[in-house]
Amino acid sequence: MELRNLAIIAHVDHGKTTLTDRLLYQSGMFRTEDLDKLAGGQHGLIMDSGDLERERGITITAKNCAVRWTDARTGKDYKLNLIDTPGHADFGGEVERVLNMADGCLLVVDSFEGPMPQTRFVLSKALALGLKPIVIINKIDKPSARPDAVVNEVFDLLVALEAPEYALDFPIVYASGREGWGTLDRAKTEEGKRPKDLLELFQAIVDHIPAPYAPGSPRGSAAGFKSREEALAHSLQIMVTSILYSDYVGRIAVGRVTAGTIRPSMPVSLVTRGGEVSRQRVLKVEVFEALGRAEAKEVTAGDIVAVIGVEGVEIGATIADADNPVALPPVSVDEPTVTMAFRVNDSPFAGRDGKFVTGRQVGDRLTRELERNVALRVEREPGADAFQVSGRGLMHLGVLIETMRREGYELQVGKPRVILKEVDGVTCEPVETLAVDCPESCQSDVMSLVLGRKGELRHMDAKAGTSGWIHMEFKIPSRSLFGLRTMMLTTTRGEAVMYHTLLGYEPVRGEPPRRPAGVLIAGEPGQVFAYSLDRLYDRGDFFVSPGDEVYEGMVVGEHCKDNDLVINLSHNKKLTNVRAAGSDDAARIKPPRKMSLEACLEYIEIDELVEVTPNFIRMRKRHLTENDRKRFDKQAVPA
282-330 confidence digits (pLDDT tens): 999 999 988 888 999 999 888 899 999 888 888 888 999 888 888 888 7
pLDDT of residue 639: 46
Average pLDDT, the chain: 86
Nearest to 420 by CA among 470, 462, 479, 366: 479
Could you report the per-residue pLDDT of 436-462, keeping only the tens digit for each? 888 888 889 899 999 888 889 998 888
User: What is the average pLDDT across 590-602?
Assistant: 89
User: Would 311 be classed as within a structural domain?
Assistant: yes
Pair (49, 173) in one structural domain: yes
Nearest to 80 by CA among 55, 105, 57, 62: 105
CA distance 249 to 406: 25
Which residues fall within 8 angstroms of residue 48, CB to CB, at 6 or more apart?
17, 41, 54, 57, 58, 59
The yes-or-no verdict on residue 542 having pLDDT over 90 is yes
User: What is the average pLDDT across 558-581?
Assistant: 82
Could you report the per-residue pLDDT of 495-523, keeping only the tens digit for each? 888 888 888 899 988 787 788 889 999 99
Pair (26, 166) in one structural domain: yes
User: What is the average pLDDT across 130-143?
Assistant: 90
In 3-state terms, the chain is what percent helix, strand and coil (to 5)?
Answer: 25, 30, 45
- CATH code of residue 170: 3.40.50.300
The yes-or-no verdict on residue 35 having pLDDT over 90 is no
- CATH code of residue 362: 3.30.70.870
Q: What is the CA radius of gyration of the chain?
A: 27
User: Would 300 be classed as within a structural domain?
Assistant: yes
User: Would 6 be classed as within a structural domain?
Assistant: yes
Model pTM? 0.85
Last residue of a domain, one of 289, 321, 353: 321
Pair (61, 164) in one structural domain: yes
CA distance 522 to 185: 65
The yes-or-no verdict on residue 466 having pLDDT over 70 is no
Nearest to 536 by CA among 572, 574, 567, 582: 567
Last residue of a domain, one of 222, 238, 263: 222
Pair (67, 184) in one structural domain: yes
Q: Which H/E stretch holds residue 82? A: strand 77-84
Nearest to 428 by CA among 478, 474, 465: 478
What's the structural domain count of the chain?
4
Nearest to 8 by CA among 305, 255, 209: 209
Q: Sign of torsion, CA 478 483 486 488?
A: negative
CA distances from 585 to 102, 192, 534, 572, 610 (A): 69, 65, 10, 15, 36
Pair (293, 435) in one structural domain: no
Last residue of a domain, one of 507, 525, 541: 507
Beta bridge partners of 270: 278, 319
- CATH code of residue 286: 2.40.30.10
Q: What are phi and psi of 594, to 5 degrees?
A: -80, 125
User: Would 328 be classed as within a structural domain?
Assistant: no
User: Would 416 be classed as within a structural domain?
Assistant: no
pLDDT of residue 586: 67
Pair (272, 339) in one structural domain: no
User: What is the average pLDDT across 82-107?
Assistant: 84
The yes-or-no verdict on residue 141 having pLDDT over 80 is yes
Domain boundaries, position 273: 227-321
Nearest to 556 by CA among 587, 586, 531, 524: 524
Pair (616, 558) in one structural domain: yes
User: Would 329 be classed as within a structural domain?
Assistant: no
pLDDT bin (cut points 50, 70, 90) of residue 600 is very high
Backbone region of residue 464 per phi and psi (left: phi > 0; alpha: psi in -120 to 50; beta: other values): beta
The yes-or-no verdict on residue 84 having pLDDT over 80 is yes
Pair (159, 308) in one structural domain: no
pLDDT of residue 468: 80
Pair (451, 487) in one structural domain: yes
Backbone region of residue 465 per phi and psi (left: phi > 0; alpha: psi in -120 to 50; beta: other values): left
pLDDT of residue 583: 56
Pair (529, 611) in one structural domain: yes
Higher pLDDT, 65 or 513: 65
User: Would 427 be classed as within a structural domain?
Assistant: yes
Pair (24, 123) in one structural domain: yes
Pair (77, 98) in one structural domain: yes
- Candidate ranges 332-341, 553-562, 577-586; pick with highest mean pLDDT: 553-562
CA distance 240 to 67: 22
CA distance 413 to 344: 9
User: Would 291 be classed as within a structural domain?
Assistant: yes
Burial of 572 by CB count in 10 Å (0-12 exposed, 13-18 middle, 19+ buried)? exposed
CA distance 214 to 236: 19
